[in-house]
Each structure stands twice: as C-alpha cells, then as structure tokens.
Chains A and B, each alone.
Chain A
C-alpha cells in the first residue's frame, strides 16, 4: 500500500500524530470511569448518597409512590416504580460516573458520583 515513499517529514508527522492520538486515549479514556456512590434526589432536592459497593435494596418515596432501587456490585437500577411507562426500569443498570437514571413521573433521579465527576453537568 505504501508504494510511495514516506519522506522524513512524513515520518515525523506520523510519529507526532500517533503520540497525539494515543495521548487522547490516555486522557479521555484512562481515568477511572466507574463511580463509588450514587446520589438520589427527590423532586430535584438531594436525598441521600448511597455506597454502590454495599449491595442492598432502597425504597424511595416520590410523588406517585414508592420506587425500589437495587444496588449490586457497583451499579444501581430501578426495580419497581409506580409510573406508567417504566422507562426508569428499562434503562437498567447504571454505574459510570455521570450516568443518570430517573423516574420522571415519580420525580426521583439517581446520579452516579465518581472519583472525578467530569461529566456531571448538561449545558444546553
């Protein structure tokens, strides 16, 4: 494929490009992405932060009723909820820092806090 000669300038550019791209992986993929704690908020106000490495079930009282959350092995998910469409349950497990699961009708939201919460705000 490289039937054409690579000039020495090309080689330099290629090396610089490889270093740059590899560096991008290190910077943006390298840091620990999995969170330790989940912050549960009811109607926008913070309610509790729970440890994701202690398995357990949590009952949270929202506007419509009680939603159940399950914590297992560093992840959390909605198990049951009094809403109509159960979107929260369908989202499944969340565990990466910044990830959010929410039952909007029941006004409950769960956000994963990470050791370095880089992705924790939406600016639109």
Chain B
C-alpha cells in the first residue's frame, strides 16, 4: 500500500489551522458583553495566511477552524455552527473580492489593515444575516446591528494590525520558518 505523501503546503495549512483552532477555542472561553461580539483573534491567522500564502490557503484555514473548532467545542451542526460558517464564508468572499480588485487597481491595493476591516465586517454581516433569516426573524434584531458592526470594525482593525506585524516578523525569519515547515 503506497504512502500518502504530504506536501509542504499541507504542512503549512495544518500548522496554521491548528493555531487558528487553538486561538478560537481559547477565545470561546472568554465572556462576551453582547452575544456575538468577540475579538475574533483567530481571524489574524486567516489574514496572515492570505497575505503570505494566498487566498486558497486562507480558505482552508478558515474552513478547518470552523469545522474542527465546532467539533472540539461541541457546537457542530448547532445554530452557532451555522452562524460561524456563514460569517467565515462571507468574510472569505469579501477577501477574494478585495484581493482581485487590489490586483486590478494596484494604486488602491489593500494592505493588512484593509483586509482586516473587510474580513471582520463581512464576518459580522454574514453572521447577522444568518441569524436574522434562520433563527430570529424579528425586525428588532436590526437594533443591534450598528453596535455589532462598530465592534466588528474596531476588532477588524486590531486584527489587521496584528496580522501585519506577524507577516513582517515571518518575513524576517524565513529561515527558521522553513525549518519548522519541512
């Protein structure tokens, strides 16, 4: 029986996904002032993946985070899972669009902070729409939207800044990184 060979890219994805999942689980233990408001630090890993290895790797990491995170926390196939998935998908779509636009108009190319803002806002929007259409179809829910989006904007910028720092550090440490990712 032949051995499955894993590529270097597989290792990168696995390593980053494990990191994102860990952050996600730790963050889920933190109390939230409002339902659905989280710092979203696992998104930093997605952003770093996007900036350093491209959108497809970012998709892998995001989807693995949502799936494995929900399995480990115990929310797989619950409404929470659906919200998480919609947020992640929306976020990834937005990142793809911004990346395509950045390539077409290099003058207005987005940087880490821009990607951070887009991913956070769309993540919150995706979750909100899923919550509204599937679980709480009450118009009073929209009363929460401005606050949710404000928090998303703030945390999006924060995670963008963090992602930018990580990428800078990664770039200056490529040698040790290659050793890890053999």
Quick check: A7 and B109 within 8 Å, CB to CB?
yes
CB-CB under 8 A from A5, the residues of chain B are 111
Contact of B146 among A25, A122, A124 (CB under 8 A): A25
CB-CB under 8 A from A13, the residues of chain B are 98, 110, 114, 117-118
Q: A4-B165, A6-B113, A9-B102 are in contact. Are A119 and B137 (CB under 8 A)?
A: no
Q: Does B69 contact A (CB under 8 A)?
A: no
CA gap between A124 and B137 in the complex, in Å: 7
Q: Does A85 contact B (CB under 8 A)?
A: no
> Residues of B within 8 Å of A, CB-based: how many?
31
Interface of B is mostly: helix
Quick check: A29 and B143 within 8 Å, CB to CB?
yes
Identity of the chain B residue whose Cβ is nearest the Cβ of A120 in the assembled complex: B139
Quick check: A9 and B140 within 8 Å, CB to CB?
no
Identity of the chain B residue whose Cβ is nearest the Cβ of A98 in the assembled complex: B140
Q: Does A12 contact B (CB under 8 A)?
A: yes
Quick check: A28 and B143 within 8 Å, CB to CB?
yes
Stretch at the interface among A14-22, A52-60, A67-75, A103-111: A14-22
Quick check: B149 and A10 within 8 Å, CB to CB?
no
* B residues neighboring A (CB under 8 Å): 98, 102, 105, 107-114, 117-118, 121, 137-140, 142-143, 145-146, 149-150, 153, 156-157, 161, 164-165, 168
* A residues neighboring B (CB under 8 Å): 1-10, 12-14, 17-18, 20-21, 24-25, 28-29, 98, 118-119, 121-124
Question: A14-B113, A24-B145 provided; 10 other pairs, C-beta below 8 A?
Answer: A4-B111, A5-B111, A6-B113, A9-B105, A9-B114, A13-B98, A17-B117, A17-B121, A17-B156, A119-B139
